[in-house]
Structure 1
Amino acid sequence: MLKLPPMKFVEYINAPKNKVWKVFVNENGWDPWFTDGMKMEVKDGGKISFRWKRLTNGEVVTDNGYTVEIIPEKLWEFWWYEYEDGFRSKVTMKFQESVDGGTYITIIDHTLVKNTDELEIRYGCAFGWGQMLTLAKAYIEKGLILIG
């Protein structure tokens, strides 16, 4: 494996922490604002099934994962990006209330790549997290679903 530092993404969302938490960690996952038929068992060890269609030009793309740890309204850690040799991406999402009542969400992604030929896996994850946070912000703050 290449030794690379984790990728870190931080976004401020102008909404209370409990609301932000419920949009990210719930049985229906990130539907309707990012995924199409995502399901998650909201518990330590719970299975996650990801499904996209709108963001993939009508092609159904699926993936699996599982929750490592949940600390309600504070932390959700999970593995996903299933590959031939196991899961490639361990993600930690942290939720922190700001002094003005909004929420900072931090995503730390430890995407594993074997060599430079696999760097596109890491770049794809980085692109996806940025896109996901933008879509979540619009959905939570304005009620907008920007994909159709």
Structure 2
Amino acid sequence: MIEIPKMEFIEYFNAPIEKVWQIFVNPNGWDPWFTDGMKLELKEGGGIFFRWVRLTHGETVEDKGITMIFEPCKNWEFWWYEYEDGFRSHVTMSFQANGDKGTWVKIQDKVLVTEINELPIAFGCAFGWGQMLCLAKAYIEKGLILI
């Protein structure tokens, strides 16, 4: 097992927390602005199904996850990135209101890497979270779908 630090990504959204939460945490997940057919059971222990096509050059990429903690407008914690006997990525998304108008979103991701040649898995997750936050910001603040 290689110990790599937890990755952390923070973004400010110029929108109320209820709107930001609803865009990130809803039955269709991050469709239409990031995923293509994501499904989310809105409860602790609920399943997550991820699907990408537009961001993967037409190749269908699918994965599963499970929600561990579900606190509306506060925290969504889940495992995803399925592999042999579990999941590689433990994610916590925290939502914090900044007055009545804005919301801070913090994503923490602890990725399991067992050997050095698996480091690209963590790098790919880091790239994906940055891309996801950028696309979410355009969608939430301007109504734009950039993919």
Matched residue, 1:130: 130
Matched residue, 1:113: 113
Amino acid at match of 1:5: P
Greater displacement, 1-10 / 121-130: 1-10
Amino acid at match of 1:23: I
Amino acid at match of 1:90: H
Q: How does 1:1-148 map to 2 (within 5 A)?
A: 1-99=1-99, 101-147=101-147
Look up the SS of the partner of 2:89 in the other structure. strand
Kindly state the Cα deviation for residue 100 of structure 1 after the two structures are TM-superposed.
Answer: 5.9
Q: Hey, what's the Cα distance between the residues in 2 that align with 1:23 and 1:9?
A: 17
* Percent of matched pairs sharing the same residue: 67
Q: CA offsets per residue over residues 33-82 of structure 1, 9 Å max, x none?
A: 00000001000000000000000011110000000010110000000000
Look up the SS of the partner of 2:44 in the other structure. coil
Q: Hey, what's the Cα distance between the residues in 2 that align with 1:10 and 1:101?
A: 17
* TM-score with structure 2 setting the length: 0.98
- Aligned pair count reads 147
Q: Hey, what's the Cα distance between the residues in 2 that align with 1:8 and 1:32?
A: 24
Contact in 1 for aligned 2:16/2:100 (Cα 8 Å): no
What are the ranges of 5 or more consecutive residues in structure 2 without an aligned counterpart?
A: none
Q: Following TM superposition, where does structure 1 have runs of at least 4 consecutive aligned residues deviating by more than 2 angstroms?
A: none
Q: Hey, what's the Cα distance between the residues in 2 that align with 1:29 and 1:100?
A: 24
Amino acid at match of 1:129: W
Kindly state the Cα deviation for residue 85 of structure 1 after the two structures are TM-superposed.
Answer: 3.1
Q: Hey, what's the Cα distance between the residues in 2 that align with 1:90 and 1:74?
A: 17
Greater displacement, 82-91 / 116-125: 82-91
Amino acid at match of 1:108: Q
Contact in 1 for aligned 2:66/2:80 (Cα 8 Å): yes
Amino acid at match of 2:38: M
